[in-house]
Structure formats: structure tokens, C-alpha cells
Structure 1
Amino acid sequence: MKIAVIGGGSTYTPELLEGIVQRQEVLRVSEVVLEDIDSKRLSSVFGFSKRMLAHLGARFAFRMTMDLEDAIKGATFVVIQIRVGGQEARRRDEERGKRLGIVGQETTGEGGFAKAMRTIPVVLGIASKVKELAEGAWILNFTNPSGIVTEALLRFGGVRTVGLCNVPMDMHMEAGKALGVAPERLELDYFGLNHLGFVRGIKVDGVDVTRDVLALLSSERGPANLPEIEYDRAFISALGMIPSPYLRYYYATEKVLEEQAKSAKTRAMEVMEIERELFAYYDDESNFEKPEALNKRGGAWYSRVAVRVMEGLLSPSGRKEVINTLNKGAINGLPEDAVVEIPAHISAYGVVPEKVGDVPEEVFGLIRQVKAYERLTIEASMTRSYEKALIALVNNPLVRTVEKAKAVLENMIKSGDFVPVA
């Protein structure tokens, strides 16, 4: 079985490869190919990864290429983890948000919009090559904003696709740690959109402990680490659910904007520094173990998520995982072809989303509005329409006003991040 990693020059790649080599027998891996358009990054990551894989006992062919078609041809899985425009484009997005007094974060705010606009045409081009050269392959998409990009792929790419994110897994693992139970004993009732997810139920060994957990979170003695909760305790009690960490951008917007205004460095600038450290480590030929500095980059459980999904899609019996997939009636009130982040049964026979049903009124309005924004963004990216882009941004709850939406677009046009044709 061949695995192609598009964007293989990412500093995350060794994390993914470690997960693959640990399960190489189950996955029956014959070849892994790294592809990237940046020769320097690709060579650095490949050189280090080759040493790491040898140390870990990899028994599959491993190579790099800058030829997209060569990487994709005959692959069973095509992992997409690209960043169109690199960290420099992310820096522009974040600084624009800071100047305009709106959230510039790369998945939820205007930064997410700008990133989607740059990314969607590129990933659809990759999908066309997968369709041509790797019949029956699965695309595993990690590229942010994952929900929007995955929906574009599923609706317009013509290739079997699963969208992945480490947040649901991270919440699951952190909940187990806080409750003092092994993660396999824990079941979370999770639903929502990518970076807009909620846990409305928790079971330990089949016993519902949701009320106990919510009571603990709402009390003064509530643990600080479950799962990265930064919300007002009274609010958690009233909501009756646990929001994912990314909900802070919606529920604590003013605090986020304060932090954004005071910070001397954007997250992109921090990541650039971390990546300089990582590439220096990768380039040192004496190094062959995954660096501790990779933890600063984020993406905990990244490889576990990817490998579990691969295993599920190869197995006739399959398994349940929280993924980004087509709604198909799972969440009432959302379009059939909307991508949602929910549990689904994945197997060699395909993906079957679990029925969620009615979503609580407390959060459905926000979910519906963000989904409208996401779908309008896809349309704007594909048509390059200024009007569609304007309406998409106005529907983003973190932008809202026409004035700010127009200011974002004006800046994107000036920087070349958006070239409208209509």
C-alpha cells in the first residue's frame, strides 16, 4: 500500500511518519512518498525522517519527489497538509486582523477566510490528479480550515475524502486524564463543525457521567485541565455542554481581541521561530529521534488520528471515529451536503455518519450561521466573486459588519491574496 503525503515538507511530517511506522504491519505499507513544492524544506524533512525511520525499523520504501503526479500515482491514501503562501501569508492574515480589530486566527476569523480562498483552488487541483492517477484512493485532509476545505473536496473534488482534525481526539484524551480513566473506557457524545464542536454527553464504561462532569466544571474546585476549558463557570452550567477550545473565539471575543492587540508577536511569527529551530535540528545529521520542540508546534495526536482513520478505512469491520464528513441528515436542519464534524463508522465499505438529530437551541444558531459562512466562502473561492466574498465575510460572526468585511477584502486585493474576476 502506497501513502502519498502532499506538503511533505511540513515540520509535522515526522510525527505522521512515526505513527505510520508503529502500525506498518497492520496497514501493510509498501511505500511512503513525500511531495512538496519547496525543495529546501522537503530535503530537510526527508533527510531527518529517513534517519528516524531507519532507527524505528521501517520496512517500507521511502522517497521524496517534487512531482505531484509521481507522488499520487497508485496511492491508496493521499494525505494533504499544505499551506498555500506559507507562514508569511498567515502572518499577513493575522496582522490584518490585528489592524482592523477583528479575530485574525487562521481557521475561525478573517484569517480562516483568507486561507480558504487561497487553498480551495489548489486542493481541487490536487483532487483532479488523484481522480486521474489513483482510482479508488482516499484523500485524508488535514489542511486548515479543515471543515471548509473538506467540504469543497467532497462537493466538487470527485474523490473520496475524509477531513481530519486533532481537536476531538485531544478533548477525548484530556477528558480521560482529568477523570482519571483510560481513554478506551470513555465515550464522548460529540457534534458540530470543525473548530466549532461540543461535547453534550460523557460515558465511562457505559455509565453516563455528564452531569457529574458539568457540576465539577461549574464548581470552584473544577479541574483547570479539562479539556483546556477557559470559559466562565456559570456559562458552562447554563450551556450544559463542553465547548471545544476554539469556541473561545466566539464566546470570549473581547478577551481574544485584547490578547491579540497586546501581543508583540503573531502566532505566525512564533511558528516561524519554532520552525527555524526544528529545521536546524532536522539538518543535523546526528539527530534521528523526533524532537521535543515539535510539541511547541501544536498538533497533539495528529498521527494517531491519521493512522486510526487509515486502519478503519482498510478494515471490513471498521471503527467509529470523529471526522469531518458529509452531513447526510445526521444533524437536523443542516444541508445534506454540508460537512460536519461528528462520529462516523468508517470501514472498507465507506463512511456512514452517526445520527445526531436535533442540536440544542443553545448552539444551533451559531452552528447554522457559521455553516452559511463556510458555504458562501467556498462559492466565493470558486467563482472569485467580490460580491460572494463580501457576503461570506458579513456572515462570519467574527467579522459581522459590512465596513470590516470590505476592509478585509480591500487589504487582500492589495496584497494579492484575492484577485476578483467578478
Structure 2
Amino acid sequence: MSEKQGLKIAIIGSGSTYTPELIDGFIRLRETLPVRQFMFMDIDDRKRTIVGELCIRMLREEKMDSEAILTADLDEAVRDADYVIIQIRVGKLPARILDETIPPKYGLLGQETTGIGGFMKAQRTIPVMCHIADRVRELAPEAFIINFTNPSGIITEAVMKHGFKRIIGLCNVPINMTASVREQIPDGELTMDYVGLNHLSWIYHIEQDGRDITEEAIRQGVKSERMNNIPPSDLDREITAVAGAVYSPYLEYFYDREHKKKHNLDSGKCRGEECMEIEEQLLALYSEKTLCRKPELLNKRGGHRYSEVAVNLVHDLYNNTGNVNIVNVRNGDTLDFLEPDDVIEVACAIDRDGAHPLPLRKIDNTHIKTMMETVKEYERQTVNAGLTGDRTAALRAMVVHPLMGDYTTSQKCLDEMLSANQAYLPQYKF
């Protein structure tokens, strides 16, 4: 691709109501990220049309002359693409609702990215993602896949272990965490060390003007920004002190699990049902032909700074900047307590060849390392089960995960969830 020709961007799962946020980012960086063509691909005709037409209006309002094509054809979308951004939800929101409502029947937390709910989302998603990766390898071998599909780290690792290496996993949590710490410590030059797995991460070292202020920041109650999709906890200050680090909001499902389970039971609606209502409200707004920009209601979803993360990464890959982004990548020799093929979430330098993990300050926090080792073993077995349909691997994943553990309970819940998701699990034998 020459600069004169411009880029071809394929957005797989373009019917997502987050897509206008993504297009807003491309508009923002139009001067240094020339896009010749957007391919809006989704198997849901209604959502692809409504969301895609809003995105086209946004592009025209800003006088961007990028071609925009709406399609249900995966091959058409990815052929000769430069970047393939994937944000799919296999089974759509009704499947998420099952992930959140079946586990409480067995005394387990129902959540879409962690625990047994996150496990089942991964099982539905891995076969589809591997198929997409195969088509990209065939039709656009130089393209990078930018994966936003949750659970992002697990999905990225599965695709890599399937044999596709040009994939980088993304999440908006790291940028929200680091930005919120900067807001709470506004003076001086601030540097932070971030480490973890997707939705299991910490800022474990903070310096201000070259001085280590980690313990001071923890004493002062510095914490991560709240997320709209996670019920708040009043224990964050105490938990931060125990963890010895600023932690991802998703870790409250581990640190404050009984409160989270009770909240889910008492709320009357699971988050998936709330998202279904918000999505329909958004689609109604998007259908208004006079709307030419993303609406404020979009901020009620959990994707704050979504466009900033995704488009900045594409920008840095294309422009060979060497800028630092926190992404999900192969570990290699970055963390000596994990395996080389494990996918981790760390700061990386970005250039045209991909994401390169930066050296990390020594991690003396054994709490962080132990949690990462434990949950990573769950992720390895989840990937194994997702690729092969091995029920033994599935149960190995569950009995090691801190939110599950009990074999009998896990087995019974797994049986019901596999049965409920049978239509989306071609790798399993029924």
C-alpha cells in the first residue's frame, strides 16, 4: 500500500454500537492516518445498516472522502485490508445474559469476561476468531488484526496458538487506569509501571519527578477510575493497601466477590439486560437521519476511550512511531515467571512490525505474581478447551480459577452452560 492510495480498514462486528466511537477516532487523526476505504462488516443486517449509515454521515459531515462499504461478506471485508479491527459478540447480548444468569444458580459469579461467564464467552468466540484469522492470512497476509473482542487476552492468545501471529489485543482499561492516576497526581513528571493480564492488572510502581511515590500514593488513596459496567465498592482504599498497587476495576470481582455476587442478585437485571436496553436506545438515536456525531448516551456503556486506544494503535503501527501503548502481546522473555507463549498486558513500543514489550522494573510484589500465575493457568486451559473442545481442559480451567474452584459446582454449571450454548460450540461433541 502506498501513502497515495491510503489504507483499507476492515471493521468486523461493525454493527456494534461502539463503532461510531471508533470512527470518531479516525476522524480525529485523519491528517496522519489516511483511510482510503472503510469496510463495515457484520452478519446482523439491521445493526450493520443503522450503525454503518450513522458512520457514513459522520464521515461526510467531517468531509472525509473515504469510501465506506457495508457488507455481510467476511472475505470482501478483509481482502487486501491493511488493518482488521475485530469487535464481535458471538451469540449477541442474549448469550451474554446466559453467561450472567446461569452461574448464580450455582452460587457462582455471572460476569462476561471473568469466571465461568468469561470462560463460556471465550468458548463461543475462539472458533469464530480462528476462522476470521484464517481468512485474513489468506486474503490479507500483511494485515494486522486489532482485537477488541473480549475476553481480549484469552482470544488473542487463542488466535496466536492457532498459528496467526500478526494480532494485537486491546482493552480500554489500561489507558483509563493510567489517566485516572495522572488526574489524582497532577503535578510533576509522572511515570508508571503497569503489568498484568487482560482485566487482571496493576500499576505497581509510580514515580514523580524521578522519586518513588508508590507507597505515598497508596496511603493517599490513589485508585483506578470507576467503570460504568462494574458495580462500585467502598473497599477500594483498603484493597489497594493490601494489594500494594493500584488495581484494575475488574479485580474487584476477585477482591470483593461476595459483594459483587449480592449486587448481581439484588439488582433485578443483569448487566447484559441493561446493555440490551441501552443498545436499543442507541440504535433508535443512530436511526435519526439528522444525527452526524456519536451521542452522549454511548458513554453509559463500558467503552470509554475506546477510539483513542484503537486508533492510536493503528496510527502508531502505520506511522512507525515507536510510541508506547499498553496492549496484549506474547510474553516472550518479558516476565520470567510466565511461559513465552503466554499473552500478557504490558507497555509496548509500537512500530510497523508490531508491538514490542518494554523492559519492566523488577516485580517484587509476590501477590501480583501469584495471582497472575494462577489466572494465567486458567487462561491456558481455557484456550486449550476453546481450540479443541476438551471438557477435561474446561474443568481444569474452572478448578484453578479463584472465582470457581469447586469441582462439583463447576461441572454442573459447565454442563448447563455448554447445553445452553450448543449452537455456538462446534469444537465440542454433544
TM bracket (short chain)? over 0.9
Query: Counterpart in 2 of 1:7?
Result: 13
Deviation at 1:82, TM superposition (A): 0.1
Separation in 1 of the partners of 2:187 and 2:71? 44
| 8 Å CA contact 1:178, 1:226 repeated in 2 | no
Q: 5 Å matches for 1:21-420?
A: 21-180=27-186, 185-217=189-221, 226-228=224-226, 230=233, 231-356=235-360, 357-358=362-363, 360-417=365-422, 418=425, 420=428
Cα offset for 1:206? 4.3
CA contact (8 A) 2:320 2:350 kept: no
Contact 1:380 1:388 in 2 (8 A): yes
State the alpha-carbon separation in 2 of the partners of residues 152 and 181 from structure 1: 41
Letter matched to residue 416 of structure 1? N
State the one-letter code of the partner of 1:412: M
Moved over 6 A (4+): none
| Aligned-CA RMSD value | 1.8
Residues 350-407 of structure 1: CA distance to partner in whole angstroms, max 9, x if unpaired? 3221223545212211111110011101111111122221211112211111112111
Shift of 1:226: 4.4
Contact residue 140 and residue 163 of structure 1 kept, 8 A: yes
Q: CA deviation at 1:347?
A: 0.4
Distance 2:405 2:237 in 1: 27
**Aligned position for 2:24:** 18
Gaps of 5+ in 1: 218-222
Contact residue 224 and residue 248 of structure 2 kept, 8 A: no
Deviation at 1:75, TM superposition (A): 0.7
| Whole-Å separation in 2 of the counterparts to 1:78 and 1:55 | 24
User: In the aligned structure 1, how far is the partner of 2:391 from the partner of 2:53?
Assistant: 43
* Secondary structure of the corresponding residue to residue 23 of structure 2: helix
Amino acid at match of 2:263: E
Q: 1:180 Cα shift? A: 3.0
Residue identity opposite 1:380 in structure 2 = A
Tell me the residue number matched to 1:220.
none
Aligned counterparts of 1:235 and 1:300: Cα–Cα separation in 2: 24
Question: How far apart are residue 73 of structure 1 and its match?
Answer: 0.6
| Contact kept? 1:309, 1:321, Cα under 8 Å | yes
- CA 157–24 in structure 1, closer or farther in 2 if over 3 Å, else same: farther
Query: Aligned with 1:3: secondary structure?
Result: strand
Judged with a 3 Å threshold, the aligned counterparts in structure 2 of structure 1 residues 350 and 416 are, in CA distance, closer, same or farther, namely closer
Partner Cα separation in structure 1 for residue 12 and residue 39 of structure 2: 9
Q: Residue 369 of structure 1 contacts residue 396 of structure 1 at CA under 8 Å; is this kept in 2?
A: yes
TM-score using structure 2 length: 0.92
**What amino acid sits opposite 1:131 in the alignment?**
R
The code of the aligned residue for 2:403 comes to L
Worse-matched range after superposition: 376-385 or 173-182: 173-182
Once residues 224 and 393 of structure 2 are traced to their aligned partners in structure 1, the CA distance between those partners, rounded to angstroms, is 39
Distance in 2 (CA, whole Å) between partners of 1:78 and 1:21 is 17
Q: Which moved more, 1:292-301 or 1:56-65?
A: 56-65
Which secondary structure does the structure 1 equivalent of 2:88 belong to? coil
Query: Partner of 2:355: helix, strand, or coil?
Result: strand
Q: Distance in 1 between matches of 2:214 and 2:418?
A: 48
Q: Per the alignment, do residues 135 and 407 of structure 1 end up closer, same or farther by CA in structure 2, a change over 3 Å counting?
A: same
Count, aligned residues:
414
- Structure 2: distance between partners of 1:305 and 1:207: 28
User: How many angstroms does 1:234 deviate by?
Assistant: 3.8
3-state SS of paired residue (2:220)? helix
* Cα separation, 2, equivalents of 1:314 and 1:232: 39
CA distance in 2, matches of 1:413, 1:241: 37
Task: Output one character per residue of 1:156-214: Cα deviation in whole Å (capped at 9) or x when no partner.
Answer: 142401000000000111112222359xx543210010000000112345443323211
Q: Alpha carbons of 1:37 and 1:397: their partners in 2 closer, same or farther (altered >3 Å)?
A: same
Q: Distance in 1 between matches of 2:386 and 2:320?
A: 37
What displacement does 1:29 show? 1.4
**Cα distance change, pair 413–350 in 1 and its aligned pair in 2 (3 A):** closer
Structure 2 vs 1, CA of residues 206 and 136 (structure 1 numbering), >3 Å: closer, same or farther? farther
Letter in 2 for 1:270: E
1:385–1:421 contact (8 Å) kept in structure 2: no
Query: Identity over aligned residues, as a percent?
Result: 39
**Secondary structure of 1:187 counterpart:** strand
3-state SS of paired residue (1:148): helix
